[in-house]
Amino acid sequence: MITLKINGQTVQIEKGATILAAAEKSGIRIPTLCYLKKVSPTGACRICVVDVQGAEKPMASCHTPAEEGMEVTTESPRLSKIRKQVIELLLVNHPLDCPVCDAAGECELQNICYEHDVTTQPFVAEDVNADAITGWPLIEQVPNRCVMCEKCVKVCHEVVGADALCVNLKGDRAFIDKDLTKCEFCGNCVQVCPTGTMISKPFKFQARGWELSKVASTCTSCGSQCQIDLHVKNNRLFRVTSQDGVTINDGNLCFNGFFGSDYVHSSLRLTAPLLKSGNTQRSVDWDEALSAAATALQGGKVAAIAGNRLTNEEAFLFQHLFRQGLGCNDLDSEARFGLQRAYDLLQHHFGMQGGTAGLGRIAAAAAVLVIGADPTAEAPAVDWLSQKACRKHDGKMVVVNARTIKLSQYANVPMTCRPGSEGIVAGAIARLILDQGLADAGWLGANVANLDELRTALAAVDIDQAAAACGVSRALLEEAADLLGRAPSVAIVFGGDIYRESQFAGTLGAVLNLALVSGALQGEAGGLYPIGAGANSQGLLKMGVASDLLPGGQPAPTKGRDLQEILSAIESGEVRTLFVAGANPLAFPESRRWQKALEKLETLIVQDCLASDFTDMASIVLPGVTFVEKSGSVTSSAHRISPLAAAIATCGDARPDLQILGDLLARVAPSALLSAAQLSAEVERCSALPAPVGTLRAAAMPLAEPLPSPVLLAGKDLYYAAATNSASAASHEVVPGGYIALNPVDAAGLGVKAGEKVKVTSSLGALEGPAQLAATVPAGLCFVPYNCADVNVQAILPFGSNAETVAISKA
């Protein structure tokens, strides 16, 4: 700690802190404009200047470290004059369009002018500002409003790592420019802009900032569940922001957080219950719809499927309705093909129900391994935290992926492996760590019950064979092992490529074993993080929405039909009524088989908020709501429980999902009804983290050979991360629809140009879509995103698989 004096007041602060931080700590306000705590100091505006005894020149307090014995003055006639004149300079050629400027009322330039009594503008200069840039998707840039604080540039580079923004040109012509190919449309530039320079096109001219009510809630576009503020007026959601400093995500949002919730007001919203008679659906009142649904459910031969848009309360009530209300155990969720695989193995081997608690530990890790995951698309907050560990905290990063992902550029060891060989890579690294003596033998001995099995499993790994099989050099494997083995703390992030693949047990087993030998489960930093699951997948599993899990997430003694078995039972006629809440089987693997099976059902009851090809098939549609219209809680992939706030009234006649489920329960089993207090107590009980188990168990890791080329790989695209993106205008503005991404060399070989149709044929049939040429996709691979109805990759993927050997041709 050092001691200094600010305005005569004695202040103590840790060494290295700035004068500004010291002043803030002691409650002395120094005005700022370009200062943004979460990025490196820019020192652009010079408004935070202070006098320091011994220095002739005023010093910018935002980037001058406080020193022992320093005497600082923050207010003086000289400083006031400088501040005032600097502000006057900022106003030179600043347009007088405040009445229609988006930032009006929440503009830091306005505030600072007001605060410093800047009422005139004595300086003149030729207006050489660039014209407004209106051609970018979603974001508009108005250079003459810019104060060149570079907050946008820095947040884009230092936090998001997109590095799309830069200062272009010199002198007064300088403006913020963008490399559109790098932009992730996260809107963080808009959020940090102190003026109306970077503005959101969808929000422009829609509302005045001061008219909007801010309602704190939680983003449910992925499992990270960032904390957000919903800005609403007249039952309409106008924008979403997040606050720096106080939120778990430090105010940072991704595309889906900032722009992606426009589906809330989509014309596809279901606004009234529908009942099918013949081939047409007609609007009915709730009583009629609920009666019909209750009757069908009570008719037996029932199964139920839930999606990850349900809250914890809804999820609990969902399984309660079927298990207690209807005595039906045939219920499952879409996590069956995804997170539940990781969940089950983590529970079995490590006694964990999902990943390590707390994403913040990733940023604190000395090394981060990102394997079979694309955090940029699957969990953007994990992308930023992984970068933070390396950029700000000198951590090391290893990236293992079948494609080149955004994080590859930040990796110390970037590895492009053959699709499906991630487990081979993990096993090889684990063996090398053990061989080099870099594992903590004492800890392993004390904590791993079957250490011999671990040693045997790893001893069976032949490094050179592994290198050949995964297509990564031995040197890179050794470098990764050295780096992960030596790091005092390790975070392992794995995603859909690991747990969605058909041979997931061996692959995931290798990742778990690597977690053991690399020390990822030791200490207070780092951990093991499955990412890429949907909004509340973790909550669904904890509430027991699975054929084989009880509420609380423990394995069930007797299991009902799981997703695959439900499908077979529908096909065989053993299930005649299917209830689907917040999920879409047409987006499940083997979607064409689902389509046929669904047509055979006697009654298909769908509870959802958006109309789709699937809801069109329903006999009964119960319109639910989006996350802004309901309250409840959700559980993040890192076990944080967050509240949702009902910020606006429900859309039309739609009802909160909890109410719909409750109404159904009241009709089928009134005795099983729960009071609100009972429900919240159950949710709380089920949400508890499992007690740490005494010993960990290494996993078996039967590793299969990677698939022969060419291979189709399905995964997440940021702009189609969830089914709701299909109703998002913002998503379509950035990426118009589904695509088939190919290496340019492969495309040239097929004679396919960008945008031309390509045909991909698997054992389940053919899929056509426009080609996207991407050097990030290696030769011999094609990548197709999930959640695009127009190029539905699930149509040609078998159950429980994310990759298949296929034939690729020009369509």
Partner 1 sequence: MSQVVFSSWGRKVVDHRVSGGDADLASLKLKLTDSYLEQGKVGAFFGWDGIIVLDRATDVVAMAAEYMTRVQEKYCCAKCTPGKRGTRILQDTLTRIVSGQGQESDLDTIEEVADLLQSCKCTLCMTSVIPVLDTVKHYRSDYLAYLRGERSLPATKVYKEKLTAPCMDRCPAHIDIPAYIEEIKSYRFDDSLGAIRRNMPIPAVCGRVCPHPCEKACRRALVDEPVNIMVLKRVAADHEWMHHKQPPMVPKAATGKKVIVVGAGPAGLTCAFYLALEGHKVKIIDMLGEPGGTVAVGIPDYRMPRHLLRRDAEIIADLGVEIEYGVKLGRDVSLKELKEQYDAVFLGTGAFKSKPMGVEGEDAGYEGFSAGGIHYLRAVALGEPIVTPKRVIVVGGGNTAIDCVRVALREGCEDSILVYRRTRKEMPAEPYEVDDAEEENVQFEFLRNPTRLIAENNKVVGVEVVVMALGEPDASGRRSPKPVPGSEYVIPCDLVIPAIGQDPDLDYLGPEDFGIKMTKWSSIVTKGGTMMTDCAGVFAGGDCEYGAMTVVVAVGHGRRAARAMHRYLTEGKAYLDDEDAMEDIVNNFGAFDPNENVGIIGHLHREHQPKISGAERAKSYVETELAMPESQAVREAERCLRCYRVGMVAVA
- Closest to partner 1 by CB, 59 or 550: 59
Kindly state the smallest distance separating residue 786's Cβ from partner 1, in Å.
Answer: 30
Give the shortest CB-373-to-partner 1 separation in angstroms: 19
Pick one of 3, 7, 86, 455: the residue that binds partner 1 (CB under 8 A): 86
Question: What's the closest the beta carbon of residue 75 comes to partner 1, in angstroms?
Answer: 16
| Closest approach of partner 1 to the CB of residue 174, in Å | 3
> What is the C-alpha to C-alpha distance for residues 690 and 62, in angstroms, rounded to an integer?
45
Q: Which C-beta is closer to partner 1: that of 189 or that of 625?
A: 189
- Least distance (Å) between residue 71 CB and partner 1: 10
58 binds partner 1 (CB under 8 A): yes
One-letter-per-residue 3-state SS of 317-384: HHHHHHHHHCCCCCEEEHHHHCHHHHHHHHHHHHCCCCCCCCCHHHHCCCEEEEECCCHHHHCHHHHH
607, 322 Cβ separation under 8 angstroms: no
Window 290 to 329, contacts with partner 1 (CB under 8 A): none
- The reply to whether 148 sits near partner 1 by the rule CB under 8 A is yes
Choose between 145 and 336: whose C-beta lies nearer to partner 1. Answer: 145
Whose structure tokens read 């109805």? 789
Name every residue whose Cβ is closer than 8 Å to that of residue 81 and which is 6 or more positions away in sequence: none
Question: Shortest distance, CB of residue 86 to partner 1, whole angstroms?
Answer: 5
Compare residues 2 and 357 and give the one whose CB is closer to partner 1: 2
């199964």: which residue's tokens? 303
Which of 108, 158, 478, 804 touches partner 1 (CB under 8 A)?
158
What residues from 397 to 436 belong to the interface with partner 1 (CB under 8 A)?
409-414
Q: Which is nearer to partner 1, 90 or 193 (CB)?
A: 90
Torsion of Cα atoms, 409 then 412 then 417 then 421, to 10°? -130
Q: Which C-beta is closer to partner 1: that of 157 or that of 593? A: 157
* Region binding partner 1 by CB under 8 A among candidate stretches 147-155, 497-505, 548-556, 668-676: 147-155
User: Can you read off the two tokens belonging to residue 375?
Assistant: 């955090």
> By CB under 8 A, which span of 36-44, 418-426, 490-498, 753-761 interacts with partner 1?
36-44
Rounded to an integer, what distance in angstroms lies between the CA atom of residue 31 and that of residue 37?
A: 14
Which C-beta is closer to partner 1: that of 52 or that of 381? 52
CB of 147 to partner 1, least distance (A): 7
Burial status of residue 465 (CB atoms within 10 A of its CB: 0-12, 13-18, 19 or more): exposed
At 274, list the tokens: 């529908």
- Closer to partner 1 by Cβ: residue 144 or 291: 144
CB of 303 within 8 A of CB of 566?
A: yes
In DSSP terms, 200 is beta-bridged to: 139
| Residue count (the chain) | 811
Q: Which amino acid is at 675?
A: S
Tell me the β-bridge partners of 713.
783, 803
**Closest of 243, 701, 155 to residue 460, by C-alpha:** 701
The answer to whether residue 173 forms part of the interface with partner 1 (CB under 8 A) is yes
Please pick, from the candidates 96, 119, 120, 170, the single residue that binds partner 1 as defined by CB under 8 A: 170
With CA atoms as reference, report the closest residue to 322 among 294, 341, 343, 344.
294
Work out whether 59 is an interface residue with partner 1 (CB under 8 A): yes
In the complex, least distance from residue 711 CB atom to partner 1, rounded to whole angstroms: 24
Q: Is 44 in the site for partner 1 (CB under 8 A)?
A: yes
The single residue among 8, 10, 27, 54 that binds partner 1, judged by CB under 8 A, is 54
Check residue 63 for interaction with partner 1 (CB under 8 A). Answer: yes
Q: Is 42 in the site for partner 1 (CB under 8 A)?
A: yes
Query: Based on CB atoms, which residue is closest to partner 1, 70 or 742?
Result: 70
The answer to whether residue 82 forms part of the interface with partner 1 (CB under 8 A) is: yes
What x/- string results for residues 474 through 503 when contact with partner 1 is judged by CB under 8 A?
--x---------------------------
Kindly tell me which residue out of 7, 85, 271, 631 binds partner 1, with binding defined by CB under 8 A: 85
Binding mask 365-394 for partner 1 (x = CB under 8 A): --------------------------xxxx
- Asked if 149 and 175 count as a contact pair (C-beta separation under 8 A), the reply is no
Three-state SS annotation for 499-523: HCCCCHHHHHHHHHHHHHHHCCCCC
Who's near 548: CB < 8 A, 6+ residues apart?
A: 555, 556, 559, 560, 562
Q: Select the span of 130-138, 149-157, 209-217, 708-716 touching partner 1 (CB under 8 A).
A: 149-157
770, 785 Cβ separation under 8 angstroms = no
Report the C-alpha gap between 252 and 387 in whole angstroms: 13
| Stretch of 167-175, 235-243, 651-659, 747-755 contacting partner 1, by CB under 8 A | 167-175
The one among 171, 442, 445, 694 contacting partner 1 by CB under 8 A: 171
Region near partner 1 per CB under 8 A, out of 81-89, 109-117, 648-656, 688-696: 81-89
Which of these segments, 65-73, 321-329, 417-425, 592-600, binds partner 1 (CB under 8 A)?
A: 65-73
Q: How far apart are CA 686 and CA 674, in angstroms?
A: 15
Query: Is 52 an interacting residue with respect to partner 1 (CB under 8 A)?
Result: yes
Parallel/antiparallel/unpaired status of strands 227-233 and 213-218 = antiparallel
Task: State the minimum distance, in angstroms, from the CB of residue 479 to partner 1.
Answer: 9
Least distance in angstroms from the C-beta of 393 to partner 1: 7
Nearer to partner 1, 33 or 723 (CB): 33
Nearest residue (CB) to partner 1, 96 versus 125: 125
Assess 174 for contact with partner 1 (CB under 8 A).
yes
Q: Which amino acid is at 483?
A: L
**For residue 552, how far is the Cα from the chain centroid?**
24
Task: Verify binding: residue 167, partner 1, rule CB under 8 A.
Answer: yes
Phi, psi (degrees; rounded to nearest 5) at 382: -70, -35
| Token pair belonging to 357 | 């608690």
Binding residue count for partner 1, defined by CB under 8 A: 56
C-alpha atoms less than 13 angstroms from C-alpha of 681 in its C-beta half-sphere:
5
Binding residue for partner 1 (CB under 8 A) from 40, 213, 235, 465? 40
For residue 416, the minimal CB distance to partner 1 (Å) is 11
| Region of 581 on the Ramachandran plot (φ > 0 left; ψ -120 to 50 alpha; else beta) | beta
- At residue 627's C-alpha, the angle toward residues 139 and 784, to 5°, is 60
Q: How far is the CB of 59 from partner 1 (least distance, A)?
A: 6
Comparing CB distances to partner 1, the nearer of 398 and 622 is: 398
CA atoms within 13 A on the CB side of 640: 19
Q: Which is nearer to partner 1, 150 or 478 (CB)?
A: 150
Q: Which of 13, 23, 50, 60 binds partner 1 (CB under 8 A)?
A: 60
Residue 470 vs residues 144, 273, 419, 502: alpha-carbon distances, Å: 53, 52, 8, 17
Pairing of strands 274-277, 490-494: unpaired
Question: What is the DSSP code string of 81-126?
Answer: HHHHHHHHHHTTT--S-GGG-TTTTS-HHHHHHHHTT---------
Cβ-contact 242, 249 below 8 angstroms:
yes
Report the site for partner 1 in 439-478 (rule: CB under 8 A): 476
- Looking at residue 809, the DSSP 8-state letter turns out to be E
**Minimum distance of partner 1 from residue 190's CB (angstroms):** 21
d(CA 810, CA 757): 6
Q: Give the amino acid at 159.
A: V
Q: Which of residues 87-126 bind partner 1 (CB under 8 A)?
A: 89-90, 92, 123-126
Residues near partner 1 (CB under 8 A) are 16, 40-46, 49, 52, 54-60, 63, 65, 67, 70, 82, 85-86, 89-90, 92, 123-126, 128, 147-148, 150, 154, 157-158, 167, 169-174, 391-394, 409-414, 476
